[in-house]
Structure 1
Amino acid sequence: MTGNDTSRLVAWAHEMRAVHGRLRAALRVAGESLEIDDLLLYCRGFCAALDGHHRAEDNTLFPAIEAAHPELAPVLRQLKQDHSMIAHLLGSLTAAVQRSADAEELRNHLEGVGAIMENHFRYEERRLLSVLETLNLTVTTEEAFGPL
């Protein structure tokens, strides 16, 4: 599916799973980098991708879900709080990258982000996938899930 596909009903649940899969893979690649220069580069890319994903959800996807399913407002608030916590962790990782921290410190940051991210993704999928299967949005996948 292309990022500009708004001409048909998008399989939003499938898109969420695919985006989460790409973010998991990006985290894995970053953590497995052997060269510090590669690790620094992959950390920057991972931070940008995850942050962009969460901003898209907060600004586009979650308001659309809440409009169609107001009963999910507490779930969406919790997910936004998770996004805020993850953004804080990404800020710490970004600061470590900017000061060219050593590989061990960067990997420790990645492990922390990864643990929280995985827990967040599982909760999000458990609570939203069934809703996404019937959600009809007139936005692009990039607008809903970020530039992944």
Structure 2
Amino acid sequence: MHPAHPSSGRLTALGIQLIEIHDWLREELARLRASLGSPTGGAALTRELRAYCVGFCAALDRHHTGEDGGAFRALAEQAPELRPVLAELRADHRVVADLLRRIDALLADPAGGRSVRAELDGLAGLLESHFGYEERKLVAALNRLAGDPVELLGSTPPGNGENLERTETA
């Protein structure tokens, strides 16, 4: 469960918020993958499942776009020694964006559950590595930054129990 983060009041440090956003994205991806059934089952993509997948992909893209245009720029200015790390993370973001485009194209086929599942499995492996690396390298530096989490991270940590099923497809 995530703590609620009201827009007023004391904000959690950005690095901690980054971890919370990553944890939420991990949970949503696990939920999405589980909803597709077994890897060999060839689950049909219902309209609701496709909408949920589109919602997840949009949330992930917003997060990476926010990082690239917000937090990473600020970190590059304040901590130039992190520039090589930031370049690696931006390269990962481009690979993730390509995967998201492939998934989006596959979602057009209601019978494409097996293909979508395979792409989501690959995305899960890539994201776990990416998120872990980013957290190890950037959390302390982000905690020293001040700013709006939506501008810097692409979103804020979700509220208590919030998930894409309720927020994106409701």
SS in 2 for 1:147: coil
2:16 counterpart residue number = 14
1:53 counterpart residue number = 63
Matched, 1:141 2:165: no
Same amino acid, percent of matched pairs: 38
Q: Residue type of the partner of 1:69? A: A
Structure 2 alignment gaps of length 5 or more: 37-43, 157-170
The answer to whether the 8 A contact 1:57-1:146 is kept is yes
1:71 counterpart residue number = 81
1:108 counterpart residue number = 118
Q: Residue type of the partner of 1:107? A: R
Give the deviation of 1:52 after TM superposition. 0.5
2:45 counterpart residue number = 36
The answer to whether the 8 A contact 1:31-1:39 is kept is no
Give the deviation of 1:131 after TM superposition. 1.1
Give the deviation of 1:100 after TM superposition. 3.1
Counterpart-to-counterpart distance in 2, 1:108 and 1:67:
39
Counterpart-to-counterpart distance in 2, 1:27 and 1:132:
24
Structure 1 alignment gaps of length 5 or more: none
Q: 1:106 to 1:11 in 2, by over 3 A?
A: same
Which of 110, 126, 130 matches 1:120? 130
Give the deviation of 1:58 after TM superposition. 0.3
Give the deviation of 1:127 after TM superposition. 0.5
Counterpart-to-counterpart distance in 2, 1:105 and 1:27:
16
Give the deviation of 1:40 after TM superposition. 1.4
The answer to whether the 8 A contact 1:60-1:143 is kept is yes
The answer to whether the 8 A contact 1:29-1:42 is kept is no
Counterpart-to-counterpart distance in 2, 1:74 and 1:110:
28
Give the TM-score normalised by the residue count of structure 1. Answer: 0.88
Provide the aligned length of Structure 1 versus Structure 2: 144
Q: CA RMSD in A?
A: 1.8
More helix by share: 1
Give the deviation of 1:134 after TM superposition. 1.8
